[in-house]
Structure 1
Amino acid sequence: MQTMTDNPMRTQLPQVAHARNPGMALDLDWVAAVQANTSAIERRAASLPGRRSVKKEFQAAWLLKAISLIDLTTLSGDDTVGRVQRLCAKARQPVRAEMLEALGMPGLTTGAVCVYHEMVETAVRALEGTNIPVAAVSTGFPAGLSPFHLRIAEIGESVKAGAREIDIVISRRHALTGNWQALYGEMAEMRAACGEAHVKAILATGELGSLRNVARASLVCMMAGADFIKTSTGKESVNATLPVSLVMIRAIREYEARTGFKVGYKPAGGIAKAKDALVYLSLMKDELGHPWLQPDLFRFGASSLLGDIERQLEHHLTGRYSAGYRHAMG
């Protein structure tokens, strides 16, 4: 496993590796010019699972990389202090120690832990002594329909509690009605409220109506200073998909080409199998290149994904698939 080009344990916020996206003035001409060829996008996305195949030690190396990119998440109404503490323990030790030793990757951690505001302080305490950031979902998650001043206040409370990343949800109605000025204004104010904490803009793509809306909303959020754009809350009927991902990462590519600033990408919801993670990693490498294979520019929003990756790594080491209960979250 030491043949990997970069250390997958490198977990850091974007400002450590590159200049943070400062945003720019809203360019409505650029937004209006954005189109999306749905049939071409869907054909390209359908071809992705068969375009790249990695086996044996190379597959194991890519799966270790995927672990370092996971925002290990619990966003349930029945979350408890004990559950969050167990999740944090799993983030610190995502794979059994003897397996990581055998794979040559002791000390590997996940990219972050993502929780509701109520559990931020619990997670921060549980992760003391590590470089694993806590991400808080905010701004009336998942619908984003609470009063705007309360959404801004919620961001401030989460930052005060120790969250280093804030996952905000946009007002979908602005994208659905083409009110890009309103979306830009809200996003810019949320970005300012985050201060030094990095902001991931959740587009809730399953509720935006079209891939063109996804592309335009992605661009507007980046213009307003988003550090990451994220597909979904995980609560919609349709979450991360390959066509949506292709649209969003090409918007990221165009934004960097025009401004020089890199913006991260986070697919969330529905990514539960190791083979799915490999497809997303190959997509990122093909479309955006090597920098987007690091935690400062790419994250998976997931929970059950880690368990399946751990099963695949055990199979690589032993030749046998183990039962899921051997790789529980806590």
Structure 2
Amino acid sequence: MTTELTRPAPSAGVGNSAVDVLGGEPDDTTLRRFLHGLPGVDAVGLEQRSAGLGTRSIKTASKAWALDTIVRLTDLTTLEGADTPGKVRSLVSKAKLPDAADPSCPPVAAVCVYGDMVPAAIEALGARHGDPDDGAISVAAVATAFPSGRASLEVKLADTRDAVDAGADEIDMVIDRGAFLAGRYGQVFDQIVQVKDACRRDDGTSAALKVILETGELTTYDNVKRASWLAILAGGDFIKTSTGKVQPAATLPVTLLMLEVVRDWHRMTGQRIGVKPAGGIRSSKDAIKYLVHVAETVGEEWLQPHLFRFGASSLLNDVLLQRQKMMTGRYSGPDYVTID
């Protein structure tokens, strides 16, 4: 079976409050009743669906578009203790023109850095800083004591405000996995709500909030499903698999499950929530599988920067290599891609 990928048009949804969905105030009791009342995940069925989607092909005419789409949906990332302004400037140069030998190569969606590196990233971007849906590049900052999340709420909120005040367009926060696994759902919910509030700027606009679940530490698919719903109920604009610091990071079955939650939320409320698999996605072959998972689960309209991202540091290099090979007639991409 062939999946044809075409560039979608932007779309918008309308929100719905957590109280409306939960049928009550989002305290521990109400959240537990809702989250534990969700249908359990059929692990075998989920993995079989994901494996089946991984064998889908895309038409030859779509291959070049798929590779360019991966570039446009990538958050180019450096999150190391040794990061310097110079390293960030180099990252931004690659973000603006990923293939220096090909000016037609699109820019990435965003650069993702620690909060103290946000000013360096914005300065390096210059006039290219802006909305990735319009072909510009945004600046994402990790916050809330990334990657562990082991800090007081006051520290997490200060971390977020510092990044937003520095000009960050997007905040990637981590949930308190210990609180979640202990069943303190109200605490996790309240922290996301308050971080979301800390994303608001004085002019009334707001940085987008990506909520990192760190699915490799959640142990079960049922926990991933509950954490996804909890993050969305609390106001997350994106749900994100991983920090990239814990293994396993992003996997296709986990991403499929999160996409199914986003699909069900959209059917319930009309609101579109983004998904960001991050960590461990290194090849164009795997990235195209993720595109197919998105197109077949929530629809091609999600294949735009405000609704889907790849969190990656090494993926871009392989995509550029395959893109160059296509242009020279030496493409060696996924074996499941149809060659007409």
TM-score (norm. length: structure 2):
0.85
Give the equivalent residue in structure 1 for 2:23. Answer: none
State the shift of 1:180 in Å: 1.5
AA aligned opposite 1:135: A
The superposition leaves residues 230-289 of structure 1 with CA deviations (integer Å, 9 ceiling, x where unpaired) of 000000021000111111111111111111111000000000100111000000000000
State the shift of 1:58 in Å: 2.0
Match status 1:317 vs 2:327: yes
Give the equivalent residue in structure 1 for 2:71. Answer: 67
Larger displacement relative to structure 2 (140-149 or 178-187): 178-187
Give the equivalent residue in structure 2 for 1:119. Answer: 117
Q: Which stretches in structure 1 are left out of the alignment for 5+ residues?
A: 11-15, 101-105, 323-330
In 2, the alpha carbon distance for the partners of 1:80 and 1:230 equals 26
In 1, the alpha carbon distance for the partners of 2:165 and 2:102 equals 37
State the shift of 1:31 in Å: 1.7
State the shift of 1:321 in Å: 7.1
State the shift of 1:62 in Å: 0.6
Match status 1:209 vs 2:213: no
AA aligned opposite 2:48: R
Q: 1:23 to 1:230 in 2, by over 3 A?
A: farther
The superposition leaves residues 12-61 of structure 1 with CA deviations (integer Å, 9 ceiling, x where unpaired) of xxxx9535757523353432222211111112222222123443x42111
Task: State whether residues 23 and 226 of structure 1, in contact with CA within 8 Å, keep that contact through their aligned partners in structure 2.
Answer: no
In 1, the alpha carbon distance for the partners of 2:311 and 2:292 equals 17
In 2, the alpha carbon distance for the partners of 1:275 and 1:146 equals 38
In 2, the alpha carbon distance for the partners of 1:116 and 1:76 equals 8
In 1, the alpha carbon distance for the partners of 2:182 and 2:47 equals 24
Give the equivalent residue in structure 1 for 2:254. Answer: 244
Larger displacement relative to structure 2 (230-239 or 249-258): 249-258
3-state SS, counterpart of residue 68 of structure 2: helix
Give the equivalent residue in structure 1 for 2:291. Answer: 281
Q: 1:321 to 1:54 in 2, by over 3 A?
A: closer
Runs of 4+, deviation exceeding 4 Å: 19-23
In 2, the alpha carbon distance for the partners of 1:45 and 1:5 equals 21
Give the equivalent residue in structure 1 for 2:194. Answer: 189
Task: State whether residues 17 and 296 of structure 1, in contact with CA within 8 Å, keep that contact through their aligned partners in structure 2.
Answer: no
Q: 1:99 to 1:253 in 2, by over 3 A?
A: same
In 1, the alpha carbon distance for the partners of 2:185 and 2:252 equals 25
In 1, the alpha carbon distance for the partners of 2:190 and 2:63 equals 43
In 2, the alpha carbon distance for the partners of 1:79 and 1:307 equals 20
Give the equivalent residue in structure 2 for 1:110. Answer: 108
Task: State whether residues 21 and 227 of structure 1, in contact with CA within 8 Å, keep that contact through their aligned partners in structure 2.
Answer: no
Task: State whether residues 21 and 225 of structure 1, in contact with CA within 8 Å, keep that contact through their aligned partners in structure 2.
Answer: no
User: Which of 173, 182, 199 does residue 178 from structure 2 map onto?
Assistant: 173
Give the equivalent residue in structure 2 for 1:326. Answer: none
The superposition leaves residues 299-326 of structure 1 with CA deviations (integer Å, 9 ceiling, x where unpaired) of 000111111011001101113479xxxx
User: Which of 143, 146, 154 does residue 149 from structure 1 map onto?
Assistant: 154
In 1, the alpha carbon distance for the partners of 2:56 and 2:185 equals 36
In 1, the alpha carbon distance for the partners of 2:5 and 2:225 equals 33
In 2, the alpha carbon distance for the partners of 1:194 and 1:20 equals 20
User: Which of 40, 45, 49 does residue 40 from structure 1 map onto?
Assistant: 45
Match status 1:92 vs 2:90: no
AA aligned opposite 2:84: T
* CA RMSD across the alignment: 2.1
State the shift of 1:199 in Å: 0.3
The superposition leaves residues 75-120 of structure 1 with CA deviations (integer Å, 9 ceiling, x where unpaired) of 11111111110110111111235362xxxxx6x2111110011211
3-state SS, counterpart of residue 196 of structure 2: helix
Q: 1:22 to 1:228 in 2, by over 3 A?
A: farther
AA aligned opposite 1:90: K
Task: State whether residues 6 and 62 of structure 2, in contact with CA within 8 Å, keep that contact through their aligned partners in structure 1.
Answer: no
Q: Which stretches in structure 2 are left out of the alignment for 5+ residues?
A: 20-25, 131-136, 201-205, 333-340
AA aligned opposite 1:126: A
State the shift of 1:186 in Å: 1.0
Give the equivalent residue in structure 2 for 1:76. Answer: 80
Give the equivalent residue in structure 1 for 2:317. Answer: 307
Task: State whether residues 21 and 226 of structure 1, in contact with CA within 8 Å, keep that contact through their aligned partners in structure 2.
Answer: no
AA aligned opposite 1:278: I
